[in-house]
Structure 1
Amino acid sequence: MTLFRTLLLALLSLTPATVLAQEAFDPLEPRSAEGLTLDEFQWVARPIIVFADTPADPRFIEQMELLANRPDALLERDVVILFDTAPDARSDIRLALRPRGFSIVVLGKDGTVGLRRPAVRDVREIIRAIDNFQLRQEELRRGG
């Protein structure tokens, strides 16, 4: 067995199964934050998390529609879309980010908060923010 293959197998054994299973779902299909943790996405994707106190919040509905209208721009930036509209469920992601009411939070691949806003944002503003993240700048320099 080559050294490369041995190292690759060692790295894969350390990778959470949930990250490996991400290939099985559409990254831009919004997923509930319930049962997920931010660690599952670190170094793999840039989560956009949309919080609201209810799925009937007009801001939540508008934000989700805006995100659905520009999938290509988000996909090429390794975005996953998560939502949490159940404050009483106290998901791990809600506890970690502590939103109040409606909020949109964009994380970098390193897990840091790159954008946090209490109002609806269009995809153009979100991708501009992502393109200013340090890791995204490095990806662009490397041609990735």
Structure 2
Amino acid sequence: MKPIFTLVFAAVFAATTGTAQSVPADAENSPVTAPVAEEELLFLDAREIDVREYVWNHRLIVVMADTPDNPQFGRQLEEIRDRADEFVIRDVVVIFDAHPDDVSPLRQVLRPNGFMTAIIDKDGEVKARRPAVRSGRELMAVIDKFPLRRQEILERNPSGR
């Protein structure tokens, strides 16, 4: 049953990502591995997007500051860029806002006081917020604890229980 599941999963995954992947002849003997990220991590300005477009499809890491010159703002974006491929695998989109005068809808909801990093899960719920810089590893650890992410991991590797 596992070889059939592996082949079906590979075919469905290839169809949904729009890329063709070849399945090796000895697929039943090879372990299921995480898909290789071929996409780029998106960095979007909060003033130019509607967050509702990303609900149920992506997790959002929101980075906000009172000014683009805030050193924490730059450091946080750099921490995320350093591990961009790993964030793509986790379906993350980064949204930044360093212009409090423009009052984006996301800023009205989150109401940051100075610098803030927030993580919004696919269900649209704010799962974590912090007024300090988090390393890329810390952000991924928080994401990996979400129930939806744990379910995704189990679906990709059912024997990894």
TM range (shorter): 0.7 to 0.9
SS of 1:99's partner is coil
Give 1:63-102 correspondences, 5 Å limit: 63-102=76-115
Give 1:113's aligned residue: 126
**Runs of 4 or more consecutive aligned structure 1 residues displaced over 3 Å after TM superposition:** none
Note if contact 1:106-1:114 (Cα within 8 Å) is conserved in structure 2.
yes
Q: Kindly indicate whether residue 56 of structure 2 is the aligned counterpart of residue 43 of structure 1.
A: yes
Give 1:60's aligned residue: 73
The alignment yields a C-alpha RMSD, in angstroms, of 1.3
Q: CA deviation at 1:35?
A: 2.9
Note if contact 1:35-1:92 (Cα within 8 Å) is conserved in structure 2.
no
- Structure 2 length-normalised TM: 0.70
Which digits, 9 at most, give the CA deviation of each residue in 1:9-65, with x for residues without a partner?
Answer: xxxxxxxxxxxxxxxxx6523210003232111001001010000000000011111
Counterpart CA distance in 2 for 1:35 and 1:75 is 21
Give the number of equivalent residue pairs. Answer: 119
Counterpart CA distance in 2 for 1:44 and 1:112 is 13
Unpaired segments ≥5 residues, structure 2: 1-38
Q: Identity of counterpart residues, as a percentage? A: 42
Which digits, 9 at most, give the CA deviation of each residue in 1:93-133, with x for residues without a partner?
Answer: 11121111100001100011121000000011100000011
Note if contact 2:40-2:84 (Cα within 8 Å) is conserved in structure 1.
no
Counterpart CA distance in 2 for 1:44 and 1:95 is 22
Unpaired segments ≥5 residues, structure 1: 1-25
Which of these two proteins has the greater Rg computed from alpha carbons? 2
